[in-house]
Amino acid sequence: MKKYVIGVDLGGTKITTAISDLEGRIIEKTTLATGSHLGEEVVMNRIFESISMVLEASQISDEEVRAIGIGSPGPLDAEKGTIITTPNLPFKNYNVVKPIVKKFGIPTYLDNDANAAALGEYAFGAGKGTKHMLYLTVSTGVGGGAVLNGRPYRGNTSNALEVGHMTIEPFSKHQCNCGKYGDLESLSSGTAIAKRAKEAVAAGRETSLKEVETITSYEVHQAYLAGDEVAKEILDQAFMYLGIGIANLIVNFDPEVIAIGGGVSKIGDLFFDKVKASARERSFDFMFDATKIVPAELGQDAGVIGAIALALIESEDK
Amino acid sequence: MKKYVIGVDLGGTKITTAISDLEGRIIEKTTLATGSHLGEEVVMNRIFESISMVLEASQISDEEVRAIGIGSPGPLDAEKGTIITTPNLPFKNYNVVKPIVKKFGIPTYLDNDANAAALGEYAFGAGKGTKHMLYLTVSTGVGGGAVLNGRPYRGNTSNALEVGHMTIEPFSKHQCNCGKYGDLESLSSGTAIAKRAKEAVAAGRETSLKEVETITSYEVHQAYLAGDEVAKEILDQAFMYLGIGIANLIVNFDPEVIAIGGGVSKIGDLFFDKVKASARERSFDFMFDATKIVPAELGQDAGVIGAIALALIESEDK
């Protein structure tokens, strides 16, 4: 009877909500501005509105919906349904699950966006058919999520797989936004790559990047492709460190698949070849060989598909 | 009706086997020499013999036994029941489970000794009542095991929690037995501590350790207590690196408890104080504060109690 689920991808700038069947096929989808600057209540009402919109557009009654999944930036408490605090949303220790359950009478589950993406890849993407898989996103930051023994793995405080904050180079001079030195995010994120490029330019090194007004990892990659030696050194180092982080995940989690998404991973073969070479060197061959390190498969809709997967998986055993 | 389980702690020098009730209370226990040098068949027969001995001594019939658990050094394949290879046992890709099932008609489970110890701590020791816990052993090597979501976590190839082989200091000059440089075992194991001490003596440094014939981590600790500066430097560094490894486990696994056993951990307060200080510095305060880092509680019988816990937990849902 309950043949549908709803996924809500809650972001700092927009809310994308979709209703799907139990195979994750999207029937209706809508996108609203989050309106973060307008406060908690406005954002909560826009979440309500987006859910009502997909229900109406699909002409599905709320009684036919098995569950709602919400993917949000963290830190949050998945068990309680509370967003603790996050830079781009107004919620402070705010329970976003209860008001939805109250309004729609549908079981609702919250998870951070990296975990939701992991569930999306597990259910519909690169992790399909596995028992143990990790998802990494290498973007502005470095984050992750896990499915272990076929279940979402969140840990004790819902913050497992904070992979970006593994220490990789204890006496590094590079500092992370979190305050620590030499963690993975300080060495291999898009932010770190851009920083290294700016440092090279500031140090007067001979590189085409000194002509670029706003340097991001994209421009560093472009310079690399054009034969820029400084750009090559920067990317090689970032990917080498990421490979060490991945090797540490392999020896600890012994997963079947590590699916990697996020802007920096879009560099493609160059990224995967260098990361894998470094990860192989730092793990055991037989464990490395047993781990598929692959691009995440879900594209543009990854966020909302992750939220749909969350709804599906969490309501499975109920 | 089935009110008992049997645990077999298979070691390179001895086999300890015990029969217990379903609360893990040991009824009878026996220890035999392994006889590793005599080959696979002899060792297999001694395992049989030890099982028959505890059955006879307790006057419990094999029909009353719910399961047998075997803890063995790895690497092994827990799912298949095969010991792949291990330095101190004769087995090479040898299935130790099938012959036991055939002989006694009792469901039998194999796991590596660190996982078995983790299960022991989870069921009867420092991890009692938790959902997510890690066990570490800091001894000749550094190993580990995990219980996640209340279930043993082994990963894809049964080799999860090879924590000793996380890279901690990528450009370290210290090499591990596994060939890698700067992994946790090369920096923080008992072997590493003894090596650093021997290197200091060989380099002609002023230390009381130059008077010691055979240096192990025990002698380094004794020298530390007597005020030896070189010994202090060596232990401080080993514990600092171990703290980094533990911080990496905290951000990745977000566990409730990390129970630490093994010879080096017997140093006690000094060990735990320094390791925790380093781990706090390298993880997030709120995650560190949510993780209890404590001594493993099971003493002398830890191996066989782990094997008993394996039998109990694996046969629970059957």
The interface predicted TM-score of the complex, written ipTM, equals 0.93
Residues of B in contact with A153 (CB under 8 A): 148-149
**Per-window interface: A 251-310 vs B, CB < 8 A:** 251-256, 282-284, 286-287, 290-291
Q: What is the DSSP letter of B168?
A: S
Nearest residue of B to residue A181 by CA position? Answer: B282
User: One digit per residue, pLDDT tens: chain B, 318 residues?
Assistant: 789 999 999 999 999 999 999 999 999 999 999 999 999 999 999 999 999 999 999 999 999 999 999 999 988 999 999 999 888 899 999 999 999 999 999 999 999 999 999 999 999 999 999 999 999 999 999 999 999 999 999 999 999 999 999 999 999 999 998 999 999 999 999 999 999 999 999 999 999 999 999 999 999 999 999 999 999 999 999 999 999 999 999 999 999 999 999 999 999 999 999 999 999 999 999 999 999 999 999 988 899 999 999 999 999 865
Contacts of A233 (CB under 8 A, 6+ apart): none
Q: What is the pLDDT of residue B299?
A: 83
Span A310-318, average pLDDT: 87
Distance CA B253, CA B287 (A): 10
- Backbone torsion region of residue A50, taken as left when φ is above 0, otherwise alpha when ψ lies between -120 and 50, otherwise beta: alpha
Cβ-Cβ contacts under 8 Å, A278 against chain B:
none
Mean predicted confidence (pLDDT) in A243-268 = 97
Mean pLDDT on A14-19: 97
What's the rounded Cα separation, in Å, for the pair A137 and B178? 30
> Is the distance from CB of B117 to CB of B261 less than 8 angstroms?
yes
Q: Determine contact, residues A70/A97, Cβ cutoff 8 Å.
A: yes
A85: which 2 tokens? 């605090």
Structure tokens at B229: 């500066």
User: How far does B142 lie from chain A, in Å, by closest CA?
Assistant: 12
As a three-state string, the secondary structure of A126-185 is CCCCCCCEEEEEECCCEEEEEEECCEEECCCCCCCCCHHHCECCCCCCCECCCCCECEHH
Who among A160, A254, A283 is closest to B160 (CB)? A254
Instruction: Give the integer Cα–Cα distance in Å for A118 and A2.
Output: 24
- Tokens for A174, please give them: 């590079």
Region A15-30: what's the mean pLDDT?
A: 97
pLDDT at residue A32 in the model = 97
B35: left (phi over 0), alpha (psi -120 to 50) or beta: left
Amino acid at B157: T
Q: Say if residues A215 and A194 touch (Cβ distance below 8 Å).
A: yes
Strands (E), A181-311: 257-261, 292-295
Our CA-based measurement puts residue B180 at a distance from the nearest CA of chain A, in whole angstroms, of: 7
Provide the number of CB pairs (under 8 Å) joining chain A to chain B.
119
Residue A100: closest CA among A52, A61, A48: A48
Q: Most B CBs within 10 Å: which of A147, A240, A248, A291, as the mutation test of the B interface?
A: A248
Catalogue all structural domains in chain B, each as residue range(s) with its CATH number.
4-122+300-316 (3.30.420.40), 127-295 (3.30.420.40)
Taking 70 as the threshold, does the pLDDT of residue A18 lie above it? yes
Q: A305 CA to chain B: closest CA distance, Å? A: 24
Mean per-residue pLDDT for A92-108?
A: 97
Would you place residue A86 in the very low, low, confident or very high pLDDT band (cuts 50, 70, 90)? Answer: confident
3 state SS of B93: coil
Q: How far is CA B218 from the centre of its chain?
A: 19
Residue A74's pLDDT band (cuts 50, 70, 90): confident
The pLDDT of residue A145 is 96
pLDDT > 70? residue A317: no
Using omega within 30 degrees of 0 as the cis cutoff, is the peptide bond preceding A73 cis? no
- Confirm if B85 and B92 have CB atoms less than 8 A apart: yes
Partners of A282 on chain B (C-beta within 8 Å) are 167, 170, 180
Residues in chain B with CB shorter than 8 Å from the CB of A252 are 160-163, 166, 249, 252-253
Compare CB distances from A290 to B131, B156, B255 and report the shortest one's residue. Answer: B156
Cα angle value B290/B296/B300 (rounded, 5°): 170
Chain B environment of A291 (Cβ under 8 Å)? 156
Distances (CA, A) of B306 to B12, B26, B112, B151, B257: 17, 12, 10, 14, 17
Closest chain B residue by Cα to residue A245? B167
Instruction: Give yes or no for A181 touching B (CB within 8 A).
Output: no
What is the predicted pLDDT for the residue at A1? 73
Q: Does the structure show a pLDDT above 80 at A144?
A: yes
**DSSP-assigned letter for residue B95:** E
Asked if B132 lies within 8 A of A155 by C-beta distance, the reply is yes
